[in-house]
Structure 1
C-alpha cells in the first residue's frame, strides 16, 4: 500500500460507518432482523454469514447471506423483502446513531482541506444522516451506493487533478485498505469504536490520533483549491 506518511495531502476521504459515525450495532441488528435470526433462521448461522459478507453493500450482503442460509439465491420478491426489512429497521433507529468524539473539531481544524465521504451505504441515507447530525457543511462531496468506493476515489482524483499521494482514504476495515491499494492512494485505518480486536500496528483509535498522523505529513500543496 502507499505509505500515508511520505507526502502532504490536500483531500481526505472517509468511509462513513465506523470512522465518522457509530452505526455498526444498528446495522447488524437490522441484518439479523431482516433474515429472521433466532426465529426462522439459526442465529449462529446468521452471525457467520454477517462475518463473512459484512463488507459488501446491503443488497449484496443480504443476497449472499440468503444463499449461505438457504442454499439458493433469493427470488426478486424475496430479495426486495429482505432489503425493505433491513432498511425499515435501520431508518426506525437512525436517531440512535452517534458521531464519534472530536469529529466537529477535526473537520474545523482541517477545513482548508477537501473532506469527503465514500461509503457502501446508500447515498440517500448518508446525506440524510449528515443532515440530522449537523455534518453536511463539513463535506464537499458524499458518495455512496450505488457508486462503489473505488469508482468514487478515481473520480475525485480525476476531477481535482490530484496526484495519488495527495488523497488519503480513511476506513475502519482491512478491506478499505485494499480499495485504496487498488486505486493507488494512501490509506489509514481508523477504528474509534474499537470494533476490531486486531492488534495490527497502525490502527488508529481516535480522530485525535488521525490528526496527529496528518500533521506529521506536513502542509498541503499550494493551490489545492
Structure 2
C-alpha cells in the first residue's frame, strides 16, 4: 500500500524555524517580528503565500514580495535547527517500511528545504518520492502533486496523511482517503474537515492503516 505524508505540521514541527527565518526577512524590511503563533497560522500554502501573508500582516509594499521570498529561500535550506519530529514519527516510519508500504512526501514546502530537513533527521532514504511545492507547476490543494506522487510510487491503493485544511482538500480532490493528524497546524475543527481517520499519536498510525486495509491490527 502507498502512504503519502505531508511534512510541516505532520511529520515535523517546523514552525519555530519558519518563524525565525521569516523574522530575519522582516527585520531587513524594518518590520516587527512575528510571534510563533502568528507564523504557524501562515504555514500551509507554500513559501510564496507565506511571504504574501507576512507582507499583508505588516502592511508592507506588495512589490517587496519577490525580494523577500528570495531572501527567505536563501535561509530555508538551513532552517532545521529548531525543528523537531513529532513524537513517534521515526518508529512509525520504520514500522510502515518494515510492513512493506511504499512511502512518499507531498508537501507545499519547496523541495530543496524539504529534502534538507529530512536529511537532517536521517529520514531521506525512507521515502521513494518527494514532491515539494515547487516540483511541479501546481501545488496543493491542486490534486496533481498527490496523484503524481502516488503514480511515482507505483500506483494503487493509497492513503494521504496530513494535518491541515489544504491537505484535506487535496485528498478529497484526488479521491484519496485522508488520515488527519490532529496535533498539526490546522485552524478548523476536526469534525469540519473531511477525513477517513483522525489520530493524535503516530504510535497509532500503523494500526489505523492495518484497519484501513481490513487486516487486524
The reply to whether TM is greater than 0.5 is yes
1:99 Cα offset (Å): 1.9
Counterpart of 1:119 in structure 2 is 107
TM superposition outliers: structure 1 runs of 4+ over 3 Å: 39-51, 67-72, 87-93, 156-159, 194-199
Distance 1:50 1:189, change over 3 A: closer
- Number of residues paired by the alignment? 202
Distance 2:122 2:43 in 1: 27
Q: Which of residues 191, 209, 213 is equivalent to 1:214? A: 209
Distance 1:65 1:176, change over 3 A: same
Q: Could you tell me whether the CA contact under 8 Å between 2:80 and 2:120 is conserved in 1?
A: no
Distance 1:30 1:207 in 2: 28
Unaligned runs of 5+ in 2: 192-196
Q: Which of residues 27, 31, 44 is equivalent to 1:41? A: 31
1:137 Cα offset (Å): 1.6
Distance 1:64 1:190 in 2: 24
- What is the RMSD computed on CA atoms of the aligned residues? 3.1
Counterpart of 1:173 in structure 2 is 164
Which SS does the other structure have where 2:10 is aligned? Answer: coil
Q: Is 2:43 the partner of 1:54?
A: yes
TM-score, reference length from structure 2:
0.77
Counterpart of 1:7 in structure 2 is none
Counterpart of 1:156 in structure 2 is 149
Counterpart of 1:79 in structure 2 is 65
Q: Is 2:145 the partner of 1:145?
A: no
Q: Which of residues 189, 200, 211 is equivalent to 2:190? A: 200
1:100 Cα offset (Å): 2.2
1:60 Cα offset (Å): 2.5
TM-score, reference length from structure 1:
0.74
Structure with larger RCO (C-alpha < 8 A, sep 6+): 1
Distance 1:44 1:65, change over 3 A: closer
1:43 Cα offset (Å): 5.4
Distance 1:63 1:130, change over 3 A: same
Q: Could you tell me whether the CA contact under 8 Å between 2:78 and 2:113 is conserved in 1?
A: no
Which SS does the other structure have where 2:199 is aligned? Answer: coil
